[in-house]
Amino acid sequence: MPNDVWPLVHAERRALIADLERLDDAQWAQPSLCDWWSVHDVAAHMVDVATTTRLGFIVAMAKARFDFDRQNAQGIERARGATPQQTLQRLREVAARTSTPPAPLDTRIVEEVLHGEDIRRPLGLTRDYPQEAVARSLHCLVGMSAKFGGAKELVARVRLSATDFDLSVGDGPEVRAPALDLLLAASGRHTPCVNLTTF
């Protein structure tokens, strides 16, 4: 994939840092949209994501006995600071990096948008994401198998059509919603205005 994804990724990291700077300790401790992860855990995951290299990912997976959930948990443990402010400072320090695991490059913007919402939605925060960031995230997600966190199988049986800009993917009965909500639902996250459980 073209390297032009990095300006989008870096912009999302800066936006997330700006939102995290306004949180108090209670908000950092709140549950995120990710099962079992607090807001602090997701922020630590974003530090780990930003520093992951191709070789580093393979080594980390081997240490986790090729269990992806265990690898994520170990990454959070490594990246999480003793305090929210320490984790936030670590995120600032890695925000401009262009490291990537052995995955399509657009997965980097998927990570930023989805995990940004994992933090923002439970806290009642909103972000007006660039259309390109959301569109590229959704196109990337539907191009990957569910085995790798994607939604390729889903869009073989349902058509996802955005109501806020020109974006439509998939075949089958149409589900219409804002593109960001379609992205969240396609990733398996709960969003009130999209129900994909019947497809």
Same domain, 28 and 89: yes
Q: Does residue 199 fall inside a structural domain? A: no
Could you read off the pLDDT of 24-64 as tens digits, one per residue?
A: 999 999 999 998 999 999 999 999 999 998 888 889 889 88
Long-range contacts of 183-189 (CB under 8 A, 24+ apart): 183/113, 183/114, 183/134, 183/137, 183/138, 183/141, 184/33, 184/114, 184/117, 186/138, 186/141, 186/142, 186/151, 186/154, 186/155, 186/160, 187/114, 187/141, 187/149, 187/151, 189/33, 189/114, 189/117, 189/118
Cβ atoms < 10 Å from Cβ of 27: 18
Residue 114 included in any domain: no
How confident is the model at residue 1, as a pLDDT? 45
Q: Which of 88, 103, 118 finishes a domain?
A: 103
Rounded CA separation 40/84 (Å): 6
Q: Residue 62 belongs to what domain range?
A: 5-103
Residue 115 lies in a domain: no
Same domain assignment for residues 25 and 98: yes
Confidence (pLDDT) at 134:
98
Q: Round the average pLDDT of the chain to a whole number and report it.
A: 93
pLDDT tens digits along 131-174 = 999 999 999 999 999 988 899 999 999 999 999 999 999 999 99
pLDDT for the residue 199:
66
Torsion from C-alpha of 20, 83, 70, 181, nearest 10 degrees: -10
The tokens of 73 are what?
């948990």
95 and 148 assigned to the same domain: no
Same domain, 12 and 83: yes
